[in-house]
Amino acid sequence: MKQKTLMILTCLILLSGHVYAQKFQQEYGNARKAFVETIATPNHADSHYRLGEEATLKVVAREGGQPVQGTELRYKVGPEMFLPNTWNTTRFVDGVATINMGTMKVPGFLACQYEYQLDGKKYTDLVKLAYTPKQIKAYTTMPADFVRFWQNVLKEARKVAFEPVMYEVPDATNKQLETKLIRLRVGKNKWIYGYLTRPRDGKKHPVVLVPPGAGSNKIFPSDYFSHQGFVYMKIEIHGNDQRLPDDEYNAMRQKKCDGYMRRGMESKDTYYYKDVYVGCARAVDYLCSLPDWDGKNVIVTGGSQGGALSIITSALNEKVTMCAPFYPALCDLTGFLHQRAGGWPKFFTSWYKDGKVEIPQQKAVETLSYFDVVNFARILRVPTFVSWGYSDDTCSPTSVWAMYNEITAPKQCDITPTSGHWRFASSQAKCLEWMKKHLK
């Protein structure tokens, strides 16, 4: 009886605390804007400059709607990803601090990192400005046997049967859509998992493949493209069983996949990405074998590593009809050897864990030339929509422009200067509109 009474009293105390918390929250109110607001505006609205042209950055800060006064702003300016170690300083006057960023004499990006503190909290941002970006040239060279090498690799992979195994996904299935987790064999010793979501209307549809971003985390089903009338497969690239409990999965993937982007770099035949690239191309073959494919339209889209794999897959597989990468990785990988920003994984840098190269530099350069997205862009033949931002410090805009300038296929770019390694909803909507416009 005493135990029951104690439990009741405990519940009442917790409930009482919850009620008081609710009242306090209602009294406190929910702010609809940040108390400290910052916006940085370059003197060219589009963030584009001619060589030799001086750039300034105006940083406006308001605290509760009042201009910040007298607060120190620290900043450093330099070529993208090669900022100096020392900071310069200025101060806010009537809420405005002006930074003279200088200029550039060669095509590329000038970057400014700034920060300031109010009431013990730090506010920071990164702004990059483009200098004649259409003139950025890739440092990546194409091996003489590049096309032949990949044709042979794909030809061998196509000799292997898919051996698909499907698993029900009840939580992602309803009257309108069916979702299944599928395991596919996409090479002699290569498997992938993917979530296949398709409309349940008995009609034929375009197919969409979405390769993953970097890492080996679990993927999850999505209904975005299927609600637009597409058969949609979202894949992982390591053959990791998505049904495993999280603890077991995380332990497994860390042991199996850590540092995968550097594995086997001694040779183009042993590099980890070889089976990944051709595996994505084979995933397209599988989608095109489905009875509800419309027989015409094949789209590949993804972001970061998934953006890189979108371009690569579209260049390798002749069935692809549209390519839509966002902020693609693995572009112009040797840029850092020329004191210019390259693409993720930032090979040949000493300040980024994934960029460590533990084999002779020339051997790494030779291998990577077969895997650099720049060379796949050079052989791309389908309409391509590329979206990226300038504040991205993961996949540098310099490297993306270097790749984009090599595309000779019909292309469209969507640039949002203030976005980093992410996209605005408007960019995704613009991409979807572009896809529908280019459907056969």
Active-site positions read 304, 392, 421
Instruction: Give phi and psi for 47, each to the nearest 5.
Output: 65, 20
Alpha-carbon span 364 to 360, nearest angstrom? 6
CB 308 within 8 A of CB 373: yes
> What string of DSSP letters covers 222-275?
--TTGGGT-EEEEE-SS---TTS-HHHHHHHHHHHHTTGGGTTTT-TTT-HHHH
For residue 157, what are the contacts with CB-CB under 8 A and spacing of at least 6? 186, 187, 188, 190, 278, 279, 281, 282
Alpha-carbon span 110 to 81, nearest angstrom? 9
**CB neighbourhood size of 150 (10 A):** 23
Task: Measure the CA dihedral 326/329/335/340, to 10°.
Answer: 50
* Residue that is written with structure tokens 């993208």 in the block: 80
**CB neighbourhood size of 74 (10 A):** 16
- What does DSSP assign to residue 93? B
* Residue that is written with structure tokens 């203030």 in the block: 418
For residue 19, what are the contacts with CB-CB under 8 A and spacing of at least 6? none
